[in-house]
Amino acid sequence: MSRAWLIGAGPGDVELLTIKAVRALAAADVVLIDALVNPDVLQFVRPDARVLHVGKRGGHASTPQADIIATMLTHLQARRSVARLKGGDPFVFGRGGEELLALQNVGIPVEVIHGITAGVAAPAAIGIPITHRGLSQGAIFVTGHSAGDEEPDWHALASTGLTLVIYMGMHRLATIIDALLQGGMAPDTPSAAIQSATLPSQRHVAAPLAQLPSAIADAGLKPPTIVVIGDVTSLAAVPGVSPDIAAPTPTLTLGIGCRSGVTVDQIRSAALVALGGRPLQAIRCVATIEAKAQESALKTFCVENDLPLVTFSVAEVRDCLDAQPTLARSTAVQDHLGVPGVCEPCALLAAPGGTLLVPKLMLDGVTVAIATYPSTPPAPTPL
């Protein structure tokens, strides 16, 4: 009995193939491969297997979908097993559903082997999680390729507050961004475009939404490229990015509470742990309670890193804690300072309207928390 596999090859890096995919490739008599698939995956194909390239290559037209299905059927009816390899996941903008139905309609069982879709892999390749507590409660995968009646409702998408991940968006990006801006999305919404993610040719730019098309043009990015729009993009952290394009916008506040006599090194270590790979430049200001304003290590840490130190009164900190019952409390801090917590409320007070990104961490006499602004941070008031 002939069998068919519909296989996702992942975003590019061969090591991102699933074990199931490798096993199926090793078993197939015929392999149909899309142009987006890294040809290195063919190392797993049997030497005597037939390999058919069916995607767009070097500007030539791709094989029409009906021909691809007809070819698969021909081989399957001749009792050859067929592996159909697609980039990313076959069910995400891959027309995998059409091929599955066409084969099932003639009674051929198909095993679908999923792959890592570019919409997750490309942002992740530059350190962007497409969802992140406090920044985005979800992500929307959308094609930028369709037009006319099938055009996504960009105005509606602009107001979801969720991460937007756009596939095939390069040709119409300026039009799409215009529609998002008209739909009320802030022009400074953090955005990025990632080309050829997970391959040696991977490149990316990060820019505020309104400037993304010119940043892409300046960098000369080409398809295949994923565009990701939303606050999570501010978490992008990949070394080697050209600083003029991708210098992190400082959008974070670092709330600090500390024992008397801590050292600058202890404060720096705690800050770096809380940042978790993000650079110190992502911090816009350091915030603490007035009673700690003269702590010399804290002042030195701010001077060394060119960061304003903002302070809040006991009353402001108490109000913030009262308004947010879930914030961490400490009886020791209560006894010492008259409020049950410092770092979390201070981080939040310094980012009005923002959210807690990294909850309280206690490290070596220092407590730290990080908050992030909703979009454009208001100017902090230096001490």
**By the criterion CB under 6 A, which residues form the site for ligand SAH?**
11-12, 36, 86-89, 92-94, 117-118, 122, 167-168, 194-198, 223-226
Choosing from 29, 72, 86, 168, the catalytic residue is 168
How do strand 163-167 and strand 82-86 relate by DSSP bridges?
unpaired
Close Cβ partners of 217 (under 8 Å, ≥ 6 residues apart): none
Length of the chain: 383
CB-CB contact of 80 with 6 (8 Å): no
From the candidates 13, 29, 34, 231, give the one annotated as an active-site residue: 34
Residue 56 annotated among the catalytic residues of the structure: yes
Tell the smallest beta-carbon distance from residue 330 to ligand SAH (Å): 46
Residue 167 or residue 373: which is nearer to ligand SAH going by CB?
Answer: 167
- Ramachandran bin of 95, using left for φ above 0, alpha for ψ from -120 to 50, beta for the remaining angles: left
Q: Does 188 participate in catalysis according to the annotation?
A: no
Closer CB to ligand SAH, 75 or 114, in the complex: 114
We find the least distance from the C-beta atom of residue 305 to ligand SAH, in angstroms, to be 34
The residue among 11 and 230 lying less far from ligand SAH, judged by its C-beta, is 11
Work out how close the CB of 129 gets to ligand SAH at its nearest, in angstroms, rounded to a whole number: 17
Quick one: 131 or 355, whose CB is closer to ligand SAH?
131
Closest-CA residue to 344 (of 373, 368, 312, 322): 368
Is residue 169 within 8 A of residue 191, CB to CB? The reply is no
Which residue of the chain is nearest ligand SAH when measured via CB? 88
Residue where the block lists tokens 């050829």: 196
List the helix and strand counts (H, then E) for the chain. 13, 15
C-alpha dihedral sign at 274, 278, 280, 283: negative
Smallest gap from residue 194 Cβ to ligand SAH (A): 5
Question: Please, which residue, 117 or 288, has the CB nearer to ligand SAH?
Answer: 117
360 is catalytic: no
Phi-psi region of 191 (alpha: psi -120 to 50; beta: other; left: phi over 0): beta
Residue (88 or 248) nearer to ligand SAH, CB: 88
Q: Please, what is the minimum distance in Å from the beta carbon of residue 354 to ligand SAH?
A: 30
Active site residues: 34, 56, 168
